Structure 1
Amino acid sequence: MEPDTSVSQQLKDYLSVTGMTLKQFSDICGINAGTLSAMLNEQRRISMHNLDRLTRGMGLAEGSLYEAYLKGCLLNSPPDWRRMGPFIHRCAELGKLDCLERLVHALADHLAYIPLLFDMAELLWNEGKMDAAAVLYLCVAQCEKYQHSERLALSRYRLFTIELGNDQESNLRAAAWFEEYVDRLDESNQLDALKDLADVYASLHRWDRVQFFAEKLEHKSLIQYRHRLKRKRKEAVEDGPSRELLFYLLYAYLLMANVCDAYQEYDKALQYVNLYSNMERLGVVELSEAEQQVVQQFQKWGKGNACLYRLMSGEVEVLANYAEYVVHHAEERIPAMYRILQAANRFGLNVDHLLEPRRMNLLFEKRSSLLGIYNAQIVANHYIRYISELSLYHLRAQRYETGFRYLLEGLEWAMRYNHESMLIQCVRLFEQYRQEASESRREQYKNLICGVKKDEETKLLVDERVQLGSSCWTAG
């Protein structure tokens, strides 16, 4: 028989060991002695407020009694949201995800509580408690997977954004999993979701998917924007997307230009630049203050990208103009220098004069513009490609030690982000110049590759176990 570890029993043991009376402990924890007596005799339910008071009074760390409270007071009695809601919130605050998962799993059998779990998940999301919110969103998604509800779609969207991280392959799986839910979102979230999906695929250079979602973003944002223009601006819906509607339309054209750039269709890319940097071509005349800020940012991007596409098409004479643009736009330096180095490697240009003065500033860090923080996955992708092009540039110039230093740094970053295509590119580049590498660089390369192999073996083992577990679950 398991020993009694309930909250009331732990309180009894504490009073017994310390020799305190109820009155003395009442003065310490701030709970009425009569209330304490009722708790000890299990004649009164313990509230979350009093549970935390008991914990402090007994000198225990915050949340120490939550497992006992969960088992004895919540799971063994009919669901009561007045107690469960505060418990979930406190678990989220203290990072007690094990307790949270156990309670949520138990509530999954009571479908009437799913809307309450969703509302709590939204509260935690807005408070920035993403790990705890993910537990609730996952429960909602699993319980409503056959409902085709807006709540299901939003839960899947939240999970998608929470799952995005440093592992590019994981990001790809998250995007592919979420795709089918986009059209079920309400209009206020659809545009953000389409942009987020396009950004993930852009960071992975899956340009066919970027084009697909860019076209959907253009179509839906144009419909909403035209509808908005038919109404007075003061009648704008409060629950709209997170940005100005005009932003999504212009961003769609920016994405399409990026796709053309990837396919080396530079004339077509310039046409899209004209669309997102020239409002007259879109028939936009009257702009709000917020929309003016959006337009200004896209015009800045358009100015730089127009030079870039001309440079990449072989007009090397615009290099000086593009370099000048980079000087005045610090947030664009890493992607811009990546493209300058790419052009230098493609056309045999000497850009030494552009490298050294800026090297100390080109570190991996978050980037932002007038419109907010750049997508983290795209920032990482740009930095890894910048390092790779920089290494190739130095290797071609026979500056082998410098080139291998950057090459191995790029390989480390590609491993850190599980960026498969760039990892392969770095390996291919090292093998191409292997005979020029010093013994120490070869040893460093060998150790890194061994780390890649070990990670792949671990991933395969985990995948096999997951598949086995899934098979057992299905069979059961």
Structure 2
Amino acid sequence: MHLSILKSFNPDVLVEMLETAHYFEQWDKLLYTADILHSYAQRIYEERLYCKAMGMTIPFVKMQHPLVYYFGFSQQMRGVACQHLGDYEQARDSIYRYVELGWMEDLGTDGRKIALEFRHLAKVNLYAVEILSGKTELLDDYARVLQNSPNGLLDGLVVIMQTALCYGLNVDEQLSHLNDDISQIKLVQDKTAHFKYRRFCYLVDLYKMRKA
């Protein structure tokens, strides 16, 4: 996509579009929008490098976050879409793209913090992809990782239940380790969290019916 077209986009509007597509599970739209946001971030970054190398003033671009955030978030959402579409190879590819964002120049303190947050998120999400693709021996490790990843807990619980149903596994032990964390979820006043929790409960009901 041409730079002039890309620069006409508002990256924060694209972020909102991605969040909406994610909420409504519109995976193809999620992929398409994630690619646009990544292309946007890449073009802006290249322009900044060029201006810096040429000794020119770097153009101001209104963004709510440091540029590294848009690199990471676009790949995170692409990975989520691929995971839900069952394309685990592409999901891994996306995760590897945001596991290490320290290659970017001039990150600054905020940028380095964001890069570290994406590194941790990538670790959690890679576990999910590996487990869903059949490496169920990682379930115990995954449950332990989720205990230290409150922001990824709900998605992780859904992954555990999907894995249990797909591979006919007993995950009572893994769920018992997360009981306290699950109890705290009910106190969260957030529409997205409630939606994910309802999905988790639905999968738990299916799991119990299978065991009966």
Quickly name the TM-score band, shorter chain normalised: 0.7 to 0.9
How far did residue 380 of structure 1 move?
3.6
How far did residue 293 of structure 1 move?
0.9
CA spacing shift, 1:346–1:301, aligned 2, 3 Å: same
- Residue 139 of structure 2 corresponds to residue 319 of structure 1: yes
How far did residue 186 of structure 1 move?
5.1
What residue ranges of structure 1 are gaps of 5+ in the alignment?
A: 1-182, 368-375, 399-476
Native 8 Å contact 1:200 1:378 kept in 2:
no
Native 8 Å contact 2:92 2:126 kept in 1:
yes
Distance 1:328 1:277 in 2: 18
Native 8 Å contact 1:253 1:275 kept in 2:
yes
2:97 matched residue in structure 1: 275
- Residue 179 of structure 2 corresponds to residue 391 of structure 1: no
* Structure 2 letter corresponding to 1:333: L
How far did residue 197 of structure 1 move?
0.8
Question: Cα RMSD between the aligned structures?
Answer: 2.5
SS in 1 for 2:178: helix
Native 8 Å contact 1:338 1:390 kept in 2:
no
Native 8 Å contact 1:253 1:276 kept in 2:
yes
Native 8 Å contact 2:139 2:174 kept in 1:
no
SS in 2 for 1:260: helix
* Structure 1 letter corresponding to 2:66: E
* Structure 2 letter corresponding to 1:267: E
Native 8 Å contact 2:41 2:70 kept in 1:
yes
- Residue 69 of structure 2 corresponds to residue 247 of structure 1: yes
Distance 1:379 1:340 in 2: 17
Distance 1:192 1:316 in 2: 37
Please give the residue correspondences for 1:7-406 in structure 2 after superposition, counting only pairs within 5 Å: 187=9, 190-231=10-51, 240-279=62-101, 283-362=103-182, 363-364=185-186, 366=188, 378-398=192-212
Native 8 Å contact 2:6 2:39 kept in 1:
no
* Larger CA Rg, structure 1 vs 2: 1
How far did residue 355 of structure 1 move?
2.1
Native 8 Å contact 1:225 1:246 kept in 2:
no
1:26 matched residue in structure 2: none
Q: How many residues align?
A: 202
What residue ranges of structure 2 are gaps of 5+ in the alignment?
A: none
Distance 1:312 1:285 in 2: 35
CA spacing shift, 1:239–1:285, aligned 2, 3 Å: closer
Distance 1:191 1:316 in 2: 37
Distance 2:115 2:27 in 1: 25
CA spacing shift, 1:246–1:344, aligned 2, 3 Å: same
Distance 1:240 1:364 in 2: 37
Native 8 Å contact 2:68 2:104 kept in 1:
no
SS in 1 for 2:134: coil
**Percent of counterpart pairs with the same letter?**
20
Distance 1:348 1:256 in 2: 28
Normalized against structure 2, the TM-score is what?
Answer: 0.84
How far did residue 285 of structure 1 move?
4.8
CA spacing shift, 1:366–1:221, aligned 2, 3 Å: farther
Native 8 Å contact 2:7 2:40 kept in 1:
no
CA spacing shift, 1:184–1:325, aligned 2, 3 Å: closer
SS in 2 for 1:284: coil
CA spacing shift, 1:365–1:216, aligned 2, 3 Å: farther
Give CA-to-partner distance per residue, 1:110-138, whole Å, 9 cap, x none: xxxxxxxxxxxxxxxxxxxxxxxxxxxxx
CA spacing shift, 1:351–1:288, aligned 2, 3 Å: same
